[in-house]
Chain A
Amino acid sequence: DGGITQSPKYLFRKEGQNVTLSCEQNLNHDAMYWYRQDPGQGLRLIYYSQIVNDFQKGDIAEGYSVSREKKESFPLTVTSAQKNPTAFYLCASSITGQGAGDTQYFGPGTRLTVL
């Protein structure tokens, strides 16, 4: 089955701790994205990567970090510097990131709660 997987579905962490959210895709897509969803805020872009070993900041990158060492993996680390980390995190991928109306496909999401 081709698709995007995110793990875990629910994640709890103590304030001041870093935590890494996993995102894997077997669609052979070049581009991958991380979004955050808060109630009434829609989807806000955190980071995106159009090719392995390269990534760009989105609208709300502060307090987050990413890596793209493999085409199929794009993990997101929520650091202790992120002031309001409790949210629903969504990973997506697209065939390319070069515009041309590239449709993004989303994973099931990870709900992060900071205690």
Chain B
Amino acid sequence: DQQVKQNSPSLSVQEGRISILNCDYTNSMFDYFLWYKKYPAEGPTFLISISSIKDKNEDGRFTVFLNKSAKHLSLHIVPSQPGDSAVYFCAATYRNSGNTPLVFGKGTRLSVIA
């Protein structure tokens, strides 16, 4: 049973426009969420995170929104650039878990078209 779901396997966006990547989770105990970006044949790199005490976190062109009641988060990239083309993974965990690593979604492949 998937606890973190990324229902769109792929997304295509024009350069300069907004990219919105979505993620849903089922475990209400999750209280910390992360986004990673991955290029082919490389390890994922950390992008941005958000704690459940917030509903928005911004870092440059990247903003993550959290809707706890809907158990949904999204990553907005504005403006999108060709170098943003990669697979994006959503991950979740919960504080004071003592023993619980991150739970990852299956990823969404973003293609930014020039």
Q: Does B bind A?
A: yes
CB distance from A33 to the nearest CB of B (A): 6
What is the interface of chain A, defined by CB distance below 8 A to chain B?
Answer: 4, 6, 33, 35, 40-45, 48, 50, 56, 58, 88, 90-92, 97-109, 111
Which B residues are within 8 Å of any A CB, using their own CB?
Answer: 6, 9, 31-32, 34, 36, 41-46, 49, 51, 89, 93-102, 104-107
A-B contacts, CB under 8 A, total:
69
Nearest-neighbour CB distance to chain A for B47, whole angstroms, equals 10
Nearest A residue (CB) for B2: A42
A-B contact pairs, 24 of them (CB 8 A): A40-B106, A42-B104, A43-B89, A43-B104, A56-B99, A88-B41, A97-B99, A97-B101, A98-B96, A98-B98, A99-B95, A99-B97, A100-B32, A101-B31, A101-B49, A101-B51, A102-B93, A103-B34, A103-B49, A104-B102, A105-B46, A106-B44, A106-B45, A108-B43
